[in-house]
């Protein structure tokens, strides 16, 4: 008996991923009457409901929220939308246009067909399907695979382990103390969430820097937007690749926005450690880097304040007097080991990042670490493009502030490749 061959259909452009980045490219292509499809494995912009904790807020001011044909126009432009408010705002945007969206459909394979064109293998409730296209835009997010250390599998099975994207509320965790590993934006804010809920928190710090929430009368990210770092092309950014690899600064938009001061948390009873290096059964080991990690974070905090001071002076801006952060707590010693049982720790939250996973793409477009080799989202593989990546073009890439510009560039590039140049449209830039 012959196995039925699934039908092959063709479309000029396939966008893989229905988050805000992929849908922004769709907005431009739709307004240029370029036929395309957006393929989403779950539902449009689902990550905002499925991968954000209950008390999540944006860390960038609401006025940063700009998408094609749509910008935040609410009553609090300098505030910080909660997770649910972001979901509502995105829902409002989606009601302004009708993207050709195929939800609950996963691209399991993407391969080149000859010198130009691609073949996509799709999987959904109806089975498998093959789709061909001339141009493809990969918009599956930054790096989707949660990272946990290899030794995690050897830890005491009585201690629950979750990744930061699985954390929603303190109440979901078993009674007892919690160890959060990682002090980037997610780790620091989850540690704060647990701390404010009255949980005993242990926090293992990495090398993440910090930034003041407000300084000299304005939000620091508003100052930085005026100063230009968010718009500086990656190849021109001071520090080059090393600067781009650094963890983002920790701060919070919670309760109207404030600093995240780990020293203050320690003074209030949170236990801090240096970098977690190894573990087995109930024993964890840490490098003696706690003091240096705190000092580094504070030095970056104060350095950004100095940059703002210079900008204010150079432009003759009337602003409140400058200030500097002074430590409110210093570690009396460097803890290098921890017994989970003795500390009453029942849960570990891993907040040490993500890694790329493009194994489903059969094309020579990736470096040795599996990251796309691209310039403003365009690769050397004809027709293969990316959008929504951190540092794809600037520091603002991957954030609401940079999505419109990046999506427009990709849409223009795709249009030109299809013989449809000049599709540039007005945008919120």
Separation CA 139–CA 214 (nearest Å): 33
Question: Which residues contact residue 102 at a Cβ distance below 8 angstroms, ignoring those fewer than 6 apart?
Answer: 37, 38, 39, 40, 124
Three-state DSSP at 215 gives strand
Report residue 378 as tokens: 């365009």
CB 13 within 8 A of CB 135: yes
Separation CA 250–CA 106 (nearest Å): 34
**pLDDT attached to residue 126:** 86
When computed from its CA atoms, the radius of gyration of the chain, rounded to whole angstroms, is: 23
**pLDDT attached to residue 4:** 54
What are the tens digits of pLDDT across the range 171-212?
999 999 999 999 999 999 999 999 999 999 999 999 999 999
CB 262 within 8 A of CB 251: no
**pLDDT attached to residue 2:** 47
**pLDDT attached to residue 143:** 76
- Per-residue DSSP letter, 240: H
In order of 163, 341, 344, the CA distances from 280 in angstroms are 18, 12, 16
CB 294 within 8 A of CB 331: yes
Question: What is the Cα 166 distance to its own chain's centre?
Answer: 15
**Cβ count within 10 A of residue 84:** 13
To 10 degrees, what angle do helices 400-417 and 20-31 make?
Answer: 50
**pLDDT attached to residue 234:** 80
**pLDDT attached to residue 242:** 61
Q: Where exactly are the structural domains of the chain?
A: 8-144+356-417, 146-354
**pLDDT attached to residue 138:** 97
**pLDDT attached to residue 170:** 98
CATH code: domain 8-144+356-417 is 3.50.50.60
Three-state DSSP at 350 gives strand
Helices (H), 15-150: 20-31, 47-50, 83-94
Separation CA 13–CA 134 (nearest Å): 6
- C-alpha dihedral sign at 41, 47, 48, 53: positive
**pLDDT attached to residue 426:** 43
Separation CA 150–CA 397 (nearest Å): 31
Separation CA 87–CA 85 (nearest Å): 5
Pairing of strands 214-215, 160-163: unpaired
Separation CA 417–CA 422 (nearest Å): 11
CATH 3.40.190.10, applies to 146-354: no
DSSP string, 369-385: TS-B-EETTEESSTTEE
In order of 103, 167, 170, 224, the CA distances from 351 in angstroms are 29, 10, 15, 26
Instruction: Indicate the burial class of 419 (C-beta count within 10 angstroms; 0-12, 13-18, 19 or more).
Output: exposed
**pLDDT attached to residue 323:** 97
Report residue 187 as tokens: 């780790």
DSSP string, 258-298: B---HHHHHHTT-EEES-EEEEEBTEEEE-S-HHHHHHHHH
Altogether, the residues listed in the chain come to a count of 429
Report residue 224 as tokens: 């930085």
What are the tens digits of pLDDT across the range 159-170?
999 999 999 999
What does each of the 429 residues of the chain score in pLDDT, given as a tens digit?
444 555 669 999 999 999 999 999 999 999 999 999 999 999 999 999 898 999 999 999 999 999 999 999 999 999 999 999 999 999 999 999 999 999 999 999 999 997 779 999 999 998 999 999 999 999 998 677 899 999 999 999 999 999 999 999 999 999 999 999 999 999 999 999 999 999 999 999 999 999 999 999 999 999 999 999 888 888 887 776 665 666 789 999 999 999 999 999 999 999 999 999 999 999 999 999 999 999 999 999 999 999 999 999 999 999 999 999 999 999 999 999 999 999 999 999 999 998 889 999 999 999 998 999 999 999 999 999 999 998 888 888 878 999 999 999 999 999 999 998 766 554 443
**pLDDT attached to residue 358:** 94
Question: Which residues contact residue 127 at a Cβ distance below 8 angstroms, ignoring those fewer than 6 apart?
Answer: 6
Consecutive H or E run containing 295: helix 290-314
146-354 matches 8-144+356-417 in CATH topology: yes
């Amino acid at each position: 008996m012959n196995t039925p061959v699934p039908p092959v259909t063709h479309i000029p452009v396939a966008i893989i991923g229905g988050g805000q980045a992929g849908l922004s490219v769709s907005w431009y292509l739709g307004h240029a009457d370029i036929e395309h499809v957006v393929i989403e494995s779950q539902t449009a912009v689902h990550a905002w409901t499925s991968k954000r904790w209950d008390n999540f807020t944006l860390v960038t001011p609401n006025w940063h929220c700009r998408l094609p044909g749509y910008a935040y126009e609410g009553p609090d432009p300098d505030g910080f939308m909660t997770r649910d408010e972001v979901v509502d705002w995105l829902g409002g945007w989606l009601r302004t246009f009708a993207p050709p969206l195929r939800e609950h459909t996963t691209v399991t394979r993407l391969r080149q067909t000859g010198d130009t064109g691609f073949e996509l293998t799709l999987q959904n409730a109806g089975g498998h399907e093959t789709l061909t296209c001339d141009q493809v835009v990969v918009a599956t997010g930054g790096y989707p695979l949660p990272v946990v250390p290899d030794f995690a599998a050897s830890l005491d099975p009585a201690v629950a382990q979750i990744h930061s994207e699985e954390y929603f509320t303190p109440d979901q965790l078993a009674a007892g103390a919690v160890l959060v590993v990682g002090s980037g934006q997610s780790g620091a804010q989850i540690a704060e969430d647990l701390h404010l809920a009255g949980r005993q928190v242990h926090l293992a710090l990495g090398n993440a820097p910090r930034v003041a929430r407000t300084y000299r009368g304005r939000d620091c990210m508003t100052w930085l937007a005026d100063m230009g770092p968010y718009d500086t092309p990656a190849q021109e950014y001071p520090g080059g690749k090393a600067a781009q690899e650094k963890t983002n600064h920790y701060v919070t938009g919670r309760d109207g926005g404030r600093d995240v001061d780990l020293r203050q948390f320690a003074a209030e009873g949170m236990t801090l450690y240096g970098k977690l290096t190894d573990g087995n059964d109930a024993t964890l080991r840490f490098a003696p880097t706690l003091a240096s990690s705190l000092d580094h974070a504070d030095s970056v905090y104060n350095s950004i304040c100095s940059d703002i001071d210079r900008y204010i002076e150079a432009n003759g801006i009337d602003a409140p007097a400058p200030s500097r952060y002074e430590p409110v707590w210093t570690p009396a010693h460097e803890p290098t080991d921890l017994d989970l049982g003795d500390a009453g720790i029942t849960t570990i939250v891993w907040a040490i990042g993500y890694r790329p996973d493009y194994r489903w793409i059969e094309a020579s477009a990736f470096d040795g670490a599996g990251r796309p080799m691209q310039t403003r989202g365009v690769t050397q593989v004809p027709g293969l493009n990316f959008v929504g990546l951190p540092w794809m073009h600037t520091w603002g890439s991957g954030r609401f502030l940079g999505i419109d510009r990046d999506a427009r560039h990709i849409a223009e590039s795709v249009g030109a490749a299809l013989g449809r140049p000049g599709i540039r449209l007005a945008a919120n830039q």
